[in-house]
Amino acid sequence: MRTTDVKANRLFIVLAGFFLTNALIAEFVGVKIFSLEATLGVAPYEWSLLGVSGNLNFTAGVLLWPFVFVMTDVINEYFGERGVRLISWVAVVFIAYAFLAAYASISLAPAGFWVEANRNLGVADIQGAYAQIFGQGLWTIAGSIVAFLVGQLVDVVVFHRIRRVTGDDHVWLRATGSTAVSQILDSFVVLYIAFVLGPQKWSMSQFLAVGTVNYIYKMGAAFAMIPLLYVARHLIKSYLGADETARLKAQAAE
């Protein structure tokens, strides 16, 4: 095996590892809803759309999903559709496995001293808190997994269609363009499965309004992450060398 092949394999492992880590963490921390205005220390912004109003509240997972989008585009750039599809399916299996492990851990009887120790720390029901945090509803889990997979598979197709037009130029365009399309699906599919089909039975106006606000936030994050995409390209080229970088990109584009 050539040294360049070893480097390419190592690069894929690192990118895939970062991708999987962020996807898994985002799924679990996403149970927390945070106020963007309070976090930034600004006055609450009251948005109103389709007769629905609210503040800028998002799941904590939005802090990590933009990194997943960047990793998707980087893997797409150097390892093509096969690379993205492989890591996307692996991520879905790992996420499902992680939730099964979480449900199994919730079912374990808590040790008395653990409950008492946390009660002394101000947590009256640590077992209930543990179950609430790690035991997300099945509708939410299903919606999240389906939305993630659909978004990833659409992203890879749009990315390469834009690449055929732009060639190796305009990296930002194919990255944000593919994200713009895939995140429409991701933003609305998860809400539809979790909150329209699920037990909460949202109205269509609430579904469309909340989905639109979430989509706008994700696109803002995608534009903010464009510099990171160029930094990643520079680091990869420095690691692989110009010739190997060109070879990988040419193979990915085929």
Least confident of 83-92, 114-123, 138-147: 138-147
Q: Which of 205, 172, 209, 204 is nearest to 187 (CA)?
A: 209
User: Could you list the residue range(s) of the whole structural domain that residue 241 is in?
Assistant: 3-253
**Cβ pair 90, 17 in contact under 8 A:** no
Mean pLDDT computed over 155-178: 84
Kindly report the CA angle at 72 between 71 and 74, in degrees rounded to 5? Answer: 60
Least confident of 9-23, 44-58, 231-245: 44-58
More confident residue, 136 or 80: 80
Mean pLDDT computed over 31-45: 89
The pLDDT-based confidence of 2 (bands split at 50, 70, 90) is low
Place of tokens 């420095």: 238
**Cβ pair 201, 240 in contact under 8 A:** no
In degrees and rounded to multiples of 5, residue 215 shows phi and psi of -65, -40
Distance between CA atoms of residues 101 and 84, nearest Å: 25
Query: Which residues, other chains included, contact 173 with Cβ-Cβ below 8 Å and sequence gap of 6+?
Result: 162, 166
pLDDT at 28: 87
Mean pLDDT computed over 53-71: 87
Averaged pLDDT score across all residues of the chain: 88
Does position 3 have pLDDT exceeding 60, yes or no? no
Domain count for the chain, please give it.
Answer: 1
Does position 188 have pLDDT exceeding 50, yes or no? yes
Mean pLDDT computed over 13-28: 92
